[in-house]
């Protein structure tokens, strides 16, 4: 994915699963379950030491899935994630040095913002797609409508506090091609190796595209 193809990543599925992988093997099983459920994209966060290894393993062992790195804050993390095979990067907030790496390496990047000033800053950096985090805290769908009225050329991926039963409220907005969600891959399901429940959650999430 090239830097200006962030919107293509956002168009893959109505939900980008936000995944905390405890180890590389679990990451692979999670990715396979998501693909089986019709979700062809995954954001593996760098919140654990296993994040980079999980990204590399998924890229090498799972077909038909676009693999991204999440919670990317530094240039070093961005470089490591790209070297591990990540096809896109995600930051929860403003991270200009990550944006710089994404431009240099020509990789899709979804930076985060919470306020009008932060969104304006991203626009000045050439960004046309932003992650709104934490969406439920900053005002939910009503806030996104307000932001969109000021920045009509932007699309948003709201993430944070969104659940299976509230995702549709966000996806009904024309400026929201997808949402980010951790509910598809619960910590309990991962701990139990319950890949079937993850596949089921992915199937329901995939169906949101036609609701």
The catalytic residue positions are 43, 131
* Residue 2 to residue 124: CA distance in whole angstroms: 19
Tokens representing residue 194 in the block? 């319950």
179 backbone dihedrals φ, ψ, rounded to 5°: -125, 160
Tell me whether residue 149 is exposed, middle or buried, using C-beta atoms within 10 angstroms of its C-beta: 0 to 12, 13 to 18, 19 or more.
Answer: exposed
Query: Is the dihedral angle over the CA atoms 153, 157, 163, 167 positive or is it negative?
Result: positive
Tell me whether residue 117 is exposed, middle or buried, using C-beta atoms within 10 angstroms of its C-beta: 0 to 12, 13 to 18, 19 or more.
Answer: exposed
* Residue 99 to residue 85: CA distance in whole angstroms: 17
Give the chain's end-to-end CA distance (angstroms, integer).
28
Tell me whether residue 38 is exposed, middle or buried, using C-beta atoms within 10 angstroms of its C-beta: 0 to 12, 13 to 18, 19 or more.
Answer: middle
* Residue 93 to residue 190: CA distance in whole angstroms: 27
* Residue 26 to residue 149: CA distance in whole angstroms: 41
């Amino acid at each position: 994915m090239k830097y200006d193809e962030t919107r293509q990543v956002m168009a893959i599925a109505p939900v980008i699963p936000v995944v905390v992988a405890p180890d590389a093997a679990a990451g692979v099983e999670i990715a396979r379950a998501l693909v089986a459920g019709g979700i062809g994209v995954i954001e593996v966060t760098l919140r654990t030491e296993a994040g980079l290894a999980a990204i590399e393993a998924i890229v090498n062992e799972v077909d038909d899935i676009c693999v991204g790195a999440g919670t990317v804050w530094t240039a070093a993390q961005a470089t490591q994630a790209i070297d591990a095979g990540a096809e896109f990067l995600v930051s929860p907030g403003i991270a200009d040095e990550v944006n710089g790496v994404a431009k240099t390496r020509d990789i899709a990047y979804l930076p985060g913002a919470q306020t009008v000033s932060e969104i304006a800053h991203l626009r000045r950096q050439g960004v046309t797609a932003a992650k709104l985090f934490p969406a439920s805290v900053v005002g939910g769908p009503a806030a996104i409508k307000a932001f969109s009225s000021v920045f009509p050329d932007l699309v948003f991926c709201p993430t944070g506090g969104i659940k299976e039963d509230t995702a549709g409220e966000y996806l009904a907005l024309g400026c929201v091609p997808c949402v980010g969600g951790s509910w598809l891959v619960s910590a309990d399901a991962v701990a139990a190796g319950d890949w079937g429940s993850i596949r089921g959650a992915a199937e329901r999430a995939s169906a949101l595209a036609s609701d």
